[in-house]
Chains A and B, each alone.
Chain A
C-alpha cells in the first residue's frame, strides 16, 4: 500500500529530529569528558615523579633542584598561597562595598554604566595587566610602600624585607586584586539582587536606615553566596599566570614578608616549559604542578558553583 506523502514527510521530520537530538546529546558529553580527560592526562604524566618520591615529600619538600632530582613544591605552593591570599584580602573590601552600592543605592543609570566598565576590566588581557604592574605598581611599591612600611612598621617581620626591587608578593597581589575585582563585584551583585524586595521594605518600615537593613537582614541572608563569589575570585587568582609572573619576582624560596619575591605554581610552569624535556622527571614535575593547580581550582569551583546555584536558582543576570 502506498504510504501517503503527508505521513512520509512527518516520519522523515521526526527521524531527523531524533537523530539531531541524539547527536547533540553526544556533544553535551564533551564538557564532562574534557574535565575527566584533563585530570587523567595530567595524573598520568605526573605519575613517574610520584613513583620516585612520596607525595608528602613533594608537597612539603623545600628544595627545588631538578638537576639533582629534588622536586620540593613547598616554596611554590606557599608562593601561590601568599599571592592569592593577598589579592583576595585587598580585593574583597572595596569589591563588596562597590557591589552593595550598585545593588542597594545606585540608580539604574549608574548600574547600566558600570556593567561595560566591569566587562572591559574583565576583558583586558593578563599580559596587559602585567605591563601595567611593571610600569605602575612595581615602582610604586618600591619607592613608596617599602620605605614607608619599613620605617613606620619595620618591627613587624611580615613587613621587613631585604628585597629592594618592588617585584614581589605585594605587587603581584595588587595586580591580581584588580584582575579579580570584576568577578567578585558581579557575583556579589547578582547574589544581592536575589533578595526579595519585601526584605528591604520590612527593614525600612521598621525605621531602620538603609545600611542597618543591609547589615542586619540582607548580608546575613546572602553571606553564603558572597563567600562563594569570593572563592570563585580566589580560584581565578590562583591560576593567573602571565600578569603575576611579570611582577612577582620568581625566586624559589618560601616567602616571609609581603615584600619578598615569590614563585607561584603557574609561573613555575610557564617559565620552565622550554627546558623541561632535557632533564629527567622535570616534565613530570611541571605537569605535577599543573595537577596541583587543577585539583585546588576544581575543588574551589565545584563548591562555590553549587552554593551559588542553590541561591540563584534560575534567577540570573539582573543587570
Chain B
C-alpha cells in the first residue's frame, strides 16, 4: 500500500518534470524557430546593394535600390530618442536613490514609470500625433524622436533604477561620512558604480526604440529619401519591412525578409553587446 503511494507520487513528480522540460523546450524552440525563419528567408535576398543604396524609382515594383534610408532613419530616430530620454532619466534615477527622503514619493514615481512602461506604443503614437497636430508639427524626424523619447523614458529609468538599488548602502554612507553632499555623492560615487548599468539601460532603450513601428508610423512618416532634416519625414526599418511586405511582388517581399533580418541582427548586436559591456565594465565596480 505504502509502496504503491510512493510510486504514484514519484510518477507524478517525473511526469510534471517531463512537462516542464517540454515547456522549456517549446519556449527555447520558438526562439530558435523565429531566428531560423528570419535567417533562412532573409539571407538569400540580402545584398550589398540593399545596405548601401536608397530606393530608386520603381523600387517597390522590384527594381534597383536598397534600404539605406530606412537603416539610417532608424538609427537617427532611436539615437535621438535615446539621447533625449537619457537627459531626463539619468537625473531621475539618481534622484530616486540618492536624494529621495520621502520613501512614498519614490514608490509613487516608480509606479508611474511602471505604468508608463506598460502603455502600448500605438497609444504613444496616437498621443504624439495629437500633440504634433496641436503645435502644427508634421510627420518628421523630430516628431519621431520626441515620441520615441517618451516611449524609452520609463524603460531606461527603471532599468537604471534597478541597478542603483543593488548598490551597497555602505558606499553611499561612506561618502556622506566624508562630508560629501548628496549631489557630490551622486555624481562621483553612484554614477561610477552604475556605469555598466547605465550603459545596459541605454542600449536596452535604444533596442526598444529601433524596433518600434507603431509609434513612428504616425509621427515620423515614411519617405524614400535619405534623412536630411529634423522637420522632414524619415524612413525607419520596421516600417520598411512592413511596407515592402504589403506589395504584391515576390521580389519586394523577399527584400522585406532581408530587411527584417537586418533589423534582427541590429537588435541582437545591441542586446548581446550590452551584456558584454556590462560584464566588461563590471570590473570597475566595488561590490
Contact = CB atoms under 8 A, between A and B. Distances in A.
Contacts of A126: 211-214, 238
Contacts, number: 257
A297 B116 CA distance: 10
A153 to B, nearest CB: 22
A interface majority secondary structure: helix
A279 interface: no
Given A116-B272, A239-B120, A21 B182 contact: yes
A34 B37 contact: no
A98 B17 contact: no
Contacts of A238: 120
A293 B95 contact: no
Interface stretch (A129-137, A142-150, A155-163, A165-173): A129-137
Interface stretch (A54-62, A191-199, A300-308): A300-308
A3 interface: no
Interface string A25-38: 10110111011001
B162 A317 contact: yes
A211 B16 contact: yes
Contact of A128 (B88, B157, B260): B260
Given A266-B214, A287-B126, A131 B38 contact: yes
B150 to A, nearest CB: 7
Contacts of A27: 88, 91-92, 95
B115 to A, nearest CB: 5
Contacts of B277: none
Contacts of B23: 93-95, 97-98, 101
A53 B121 CA distance: 28
Given A131-B241, A240-B120, A273-B217, A28 B96 contact: yes
A129 B9 CA distance: 40
Contacts of B120: 238-241, 266, 293-294, 297
A123 interface: yes
Interface size class of chain A, counting residues whose CB lies under 8 Å from the partner chain: 35 or more
A236 B123 CA distance: 12
22 contacts: A17-B184, A23-B91, A38-B127, A93-B23, A94-B22, A97-B16, A97-B19, A97-B24, A117-B31, A121-B27, A124-B34, A126-B211, A127-B238, A127-B241, A128-B211, A131-B260, A132-B33, A209-B10, A209-B12, A239-B118, A242-B213, A287-B126
Given A121-B31, A212-B13, 20 more contacts: A14-B181, A20-B182, A24-B92, A30-B92, A31-B92, A31-B153, A31-B154, A41-B131, A105-B20, A120-B268, A121-B27, A124-B264, A125-B213, A127-B260, A211-B12, A211-B16, A238-B120, A294-B120, A306-B111, A314-B165
Interface of B: 9-10, 12-13, 16-17, 19-24, 26-28, 30-31, 33-34, 37-38, 41, 88, 91-92, 94-96, 99, 105, 107-109, 111-116, 118-127, 129-131, 150, 153-154, 157, 162, 165-166, 181-184, 204, 207-208, 210-214, 217-218, 238-239, 241-242, 245, 256-257, 260, 263-264, 267-268, 270-272, 275
